Amino acid sequence: MLLVLDVGNTTVVAGVFDGERLVRQWRLTSDRRTSDEVGMVLLSVMHAAGIDPKSIGGAILGSVVPPLDSAIIEAMETYFHAPCMRVDTSLDLGIEVRYGAPKEIGADRLINAVGGKAKYGCPLIVVDFGTAITLDVVSPDGAYLGGTISPGIVTSMEALFGRTAKLPKIALEIPPVAIGRTTIEAIQSGILFGTAGLVDALVRRIWKELGCETGVVATGGHCSLVASASETIGHVDPVLTLDGMRMIYERNAGRSGR
């Protein structure tokens, strides 16, 4: 079985694949950890799920938090005796990268483009709702072009509540109307309808630049919620990033030096 690790600024999403089937996934915090802490946490959640750590034959890491990389790779070797592949542009991604500075691209953005192209075809826009909201564009001929980066929903909320003494913290849910009749409804409307509007505006601008409309797939922690208010998101795929890592691993496993 394959262990995949999507390391973001806020959370680590770990998953175990048996072939193409995602057996189990977990969402953990991205606290700075030692290799022993990483290993023990993963062993614990696997034990609770009834997964034998000895069944893990390989691992792949997609990370935007470099200080965690070495601890995770060491944990894979020490606790699972499994080599850990790290996603970057030196791998065979199966997608042409037409980005001005390829080494600056977050691994998650490349992974989403790979997974999105394979599952939904091209042209395509992948919208990932994480600490940041990213839109990544796959061209009509299947190349990664680049995209946009905006503050994420939780990031925006923390900025709002951190600088306003009287605003209450709220649950993230779509309000019944755009014109909020209470403070809570007003905040929900501004954040969720506002985020959906931001995504829709960026998608339409990208369509104009491409000269064609594309498919649009959403992934990440709040993808279903925002997609329900969006006019352009056509697909919701919470496990797209994990699938993309599995595809990259399968493409590169067994190659010299991997």
Residues 34 and 72: their CA atoms lie apart, in Å, by: 8
Q: Decide if 108 contacts 242 (C-beta within 8 A).
A: no
Give the C-alpha separation, 246 to 203, whole Å. Answer: 27
DSSP E strands: which ranges in the chain? Answer: 2-7, 11-18, 21-29, 58-63, 84-86, 124-129, 132-138, 144-151, 215-220, 235-236
Our answer to whether residue 69 is catalytic in this structure is no
Q: Which of 18, 88, 92, 108 is catalytic?
A: 108
Dist CA 249 CA 5 (whole Å): 12
How far apart (Å, rounded) are the C-alpha atoms in residues 214 and 124? Answer: 5
In this structure, how many other beta carbons lie within 10 angstroms of the beta carbon of residue 134? 21
Helix (H, G, I), strand (E, B) or coil at 50: coil
Dihedral (CA of 213, 111, 32, 101) sign: negative
| DSSP summary character for residue 213 | -
Residues with active-site annotation? 108
